[in-house]
Chain A
Amino acid sequence: MSERAAKVTPADDEQDDDQITDSAAPDAVTEDDAAGDDAESPAEPVTTGAESVVRALENAGVEYAFGVQGGAIMPVYDALYDSDIRHVTMAHEQGAAHAADAYGIVSGEPGVCLATSGPGATNLVTGIADADMDSDPMVALTGQVPTEFVGNDAFQETDTTGVTTPVTKDNTFASDSDRVGSDVSEAFALAREGRPGPTLVDLPKDVTNGETDREPDAPTVPDTYQVQERADSEIVDAAAERIENCARPVMLLGGGVIKGEASEACREFAIEHEIPVITTMPGIGAFPEDHELSLEMAGMHGTGYANMAVTHCDTLIGIGTRFDDRLTGGIETFAPDAEVIHVDIDPAEISKNIHADYPLVGDAETVVEQLSEAVDSSPEAKKWRAQCQQWKSDYSMAYDAPEDKPVQPEFVVEALDEATSDRAIVTTGVGQHQMWACQYWTYTEPRTWVSSHGLGAMGYGLPSAIGARLAADDDQEVVCIDGDGSFLMTLQGLSVAVREELDITVAVLNNEYIGMVRQWQDAFFDGRHSASDYGWMPEFDKLAEAFGACGFRIDDYDDVAETIDDAIAYDGPSVIDVHIDPDANVYPMVPSGGDNGQFALTEDQL
């Protein structure tokens, strides 16, 4: 149970809070209740499979569930009607999955999404695949046609477990009303244990409608799922020796650092031994970007200095990263002189893409602490650190912003950063705007950066802002930096934000293009803008007003600061339609499969 989740639990609901905290021992719940002086009466015994499903959610401490009603999931919704779990009705199931995903990223606890069978379930798939690629904890519950119709191509039937097998950590077809609650409990435990990920339980209508008096079991993982917490101490010692004796060390922090709550341990380690730090895109926030040792993000659109450092290091300490190709570029030229120390909780990530000379399987926080104990002296890397600082000034991140040209997107990102606190949460769609949001926002805290990394799902921004808003503390601003194309894909979620009165600021960096595609077409397809020209965009500020949100528009530099302040000050969903320079491009850039050290600073260098 995270501190944050406990905090938002209403104070007058202490009894429920106990239930949540004590989720490992549901039997104890009734005792606790009975022991309390003016305790509410013990929870009603479950009578249907659906009630058992909802009880399992309650036992797991679920506060919010994101979903859309439908035929086959109706029994579960009927059971939710009497529950304290707040159901957030989304405008589309894809949004439900993204909202649940973002909730999981910000809170650390699995987000829950629900959909009916068939089209409801298939609409969830993008969001589930996204959570799978980024190892986000999530539980998806889908309705299914009654068992007797399964396999007959019944109305709204899809083989949901079949469809989602490749994109879930585990999924289950519930076949028994007595078991169904425990299936959901197990899905919860699996979603957060070890390497987190999405799990799914498919719920046939007869199973959820069926009678049962079985309370769900406690959320525990099956015996066959075993997670190694501590790394092999011999390899830890060998890695420590390597770190002590190397000359050009770099720490590469991935998303696993944040999910494993290892940010603090990594910060201490890096600062104690003065090791320069690079993050992957999902690792943004693991290390403060305003720290001298930070080289920020490496990879395709990473900083030049991060890419120089990763290319020239002799020791790469990769923690919680899967060495995605957007990070590595061409394998042959990735950290070619480096001995690789790889910390990951998933053994299958070790040597999958980049061979690990020191494979350290275990929980990121635990292993970094092990390393910390084993390393007796810091590497003598003064010269290397000076080199990294030199690269930082050689390849500093900057942009031109001439007054006579339209507003540059980088300027807007920086202005948004300036107008908000350090703990503000940024969510994005996918495309150029996402890269500018990486490059020109200074992240200092974990769980403040919410994006679709591995899957790169356009449309992620707004629904994820909804999930993030509900998981965030009240004093944390939530800013969605979106692109026009990305926003258009899921903007029906504005209706949800308005209904739920969610304080979200959406800044649409509008260049009337699928900008990243346009950039690649200019670079690699002779400027032939096949289907990337979005000259038919609506006026987003007016659209926002139509939904009942507050609409703003930025056309030039004079409007930027004031409009952003107004939008952030507005207590509810606001949308700023920011008309940016349509020709603005994202640099530096490592061409797909290229050499990280050969990043281009301009189109001419591609």
Chain B
Amino acid sequence: MKKGLEGPPPADRPTPAGRRNKQGIRIDPEVEATHEPRRTVISALVTHEPGVLSDVSGLFSRRQFNIESLTVGPTEDEDHARITIVVEEPDPGIDQIEKQLRKLVPVISVRELEPDAMRRELALIKVDASRPDQVAAVAEMYGGKTVDSSPETATIEVTGARQKIEAAIDTFSQFGVREISRTGTTALARGTDRTAASSTAQPADEANYEDQYTHTANDD
């Protein structure tokens, strides 16, 4: 009669010296790279059809990608829409996001934007109007504009890079902020560089600058 499974038990077996990190990358002690999350902007050109936004947002949620903001709007071509996504992930995750997005059939092209890309967000900030002149002064400081006022409130529209909006909100908070509504970031590449027409992937490392947002916070 046959004998059951035999062989040296686990403790008696040789084990390799190497290890991989959580991203499946082999760890070489001499050039060990850690992958900290970084924030970046991904722009996707998609066919303008029902369900495409749900395809994209569903992809992000089921794959547990950490999404910061997502905006969508029409483009110069009425059959196309542009989706701008701000994400915070380690580089392998950003790479994976781009690849997964490209797999969606309605997605035409995807790229990560350069750090110098133009990024804009719009915020509506409703504050108490007890000190209208000071509110106006702060609004002017951020290039904002008062779009509504009542005896008790003033609503200011501010556009700019995310950091500028944050700074504006911070400054307005001295008057008492009642409500805020923000659009999330939309972005375009600079100059003649096409934002999402090219299907060539951008190497993740190229845009891997730290503090990219602080560098471009006052680029308007």
Interface set of A (CB-CB < 8 Å, partner B): 161-162, 165-166, 169-170, 173, 190, 222, 224-226, 304, 308, 311-312, 323, 331-334, 336-339, 346-348, 350-355, 357, 394-403, 587-588, 595, 597-602, 605
Contact = CB atoms under 8 A, between A and B. Distances in A.
Interface in B165-197: none
A36 B92 CA distance: 58
A602 B4 CA distance: 9
Nearest to B10: A598
Most buried by A among B14, B24, B102, B106: B24
Nearest to A175: B50
Contacts of A190: 105
Interface in B83-121: 92, 95-96, 99-100, 102-108
Contacts of B50: 173
26 contacts: A165-B54, A165-B58, A170-B105, A173-B51, A224-B108, A308-B13, A323-B24, A332-B21, A334-B24, A337-B16, A348-B103, A351-B92, A354-B20, A354-B24, A355-B24, A355-B26, A394-B6, A399-B2, A399-B4, A400-B2, A597-B13, A597-B16, A598-B10, A600-B10, A601-B9, A602-B4
Contacts of B25: 355
Nearest to A399: B4
Q: Which bucket holds chain B's interface residue count?
A: 35 or more
A339 B58 CA distance: 34
A336 B5 contact: no
B202 to A, nearest CB: 14
Interface of B: 1-10, 13-26, 47, 50-51, 54-55, 58, 62, 92, 95-96, 99-100, 102-108, 199
A500 to B, nearest CB: 35
Contacts of A403: 1
B16 A336 contact: yes
A602 B3 CA distance: 13
A333 B19 contact: yes
B201 to A, nearest CB: 8
A395 B5 contact: yes
A348 B54 contact: no
A332 B20 contact: yes
- The residue in B5, B17, B106 that gathers the most chain A C-beta atoms within 10 A of its C-beta is B5
Contact of A396 (B6, B8, B20, B107): B6
Nearest to A361: B99
Contact of B16 (A311, A348, A357, A394): A311
Contact of B58 (A166, A352, A402, A601): A166
A339 B16 CA distance: 13
B24 A351 contact: yes
Nearest to B23: A355
